[in-house]
Amino acid sequence: MVSLTEVFVRSFSPYMDVETARDMAPHSYCSPGTTEGLVSGVLSKFKGRLLSEEDSTALERVLQILKENQESVRVYDVSRMADKLRALKRGIRKTPAVIINGEKYEGLEAISKALSTKQSHKTAK
């Protein structure tokens, strides 16, 4: 049985000086592979937006552990209205948050504990 894990994070737009960004923008010819890396997988959902350190760490850990087990992961960005409504329906008020097999975990510490017990259950089997 493949379980579904839902991850809720909040992204934000960084302050950017337009002149500096124009001068520093990487070109696909000058740095091949950069474009593919930026738009691949889960990170393409954020389209240039940033995550807080806590949200980023939680997302990284979830993806690392659950992808190893080939489990399905859905990532929601609560800075988007549709994803925010989905989070509110599930009772999530704080990010990062993860729902694993119907159980809700909010905050990096709770998520780390849940993932470590999930990983230890997998290795014990």
**For residue range 14-70, what is the model confidence (pLDDT) as tens digits?**
766 555 555 555 544 454 444 344 334 565 567 777 888 898 888 888 888 877 777
Provide the domain count of the chain. Answer: 1
**For residue range 84-97, what is the model confidence (pLDDT) as tens digits?**
999 999 999 999 99
Q: Is residue 39 part of a domain?
A: no
Q: How far apart are the first and last CA of the chain?
A: 14
The pLDDT assigned to 9 comes to 92
Residue 101 belongs to a domain with what CATH number?
Answer: 3.40.30.10
Say what the pTM is.
0.70
Q: Is residue 114 part of a domain?
A: yes
Q: Is residue 86 part of a domain?
A: yes
Q: Is residue 111 part of a domain?
A: yes
Q: Is residue 8 part of a domain?
A: yes
Mean pLDDT of 107-125: 77
Q: Is residue 115 part of a domain?
A: yes
Q: Is residue 20 part of a domain?
A: no
Structural domain including 102 reads 4-14+50-124
CB-based contacts of 114-123 (< 8 A; 24+ apart in sequence)? 115/61, 115/62, 115/65, 118/65, 119/65, 122/69
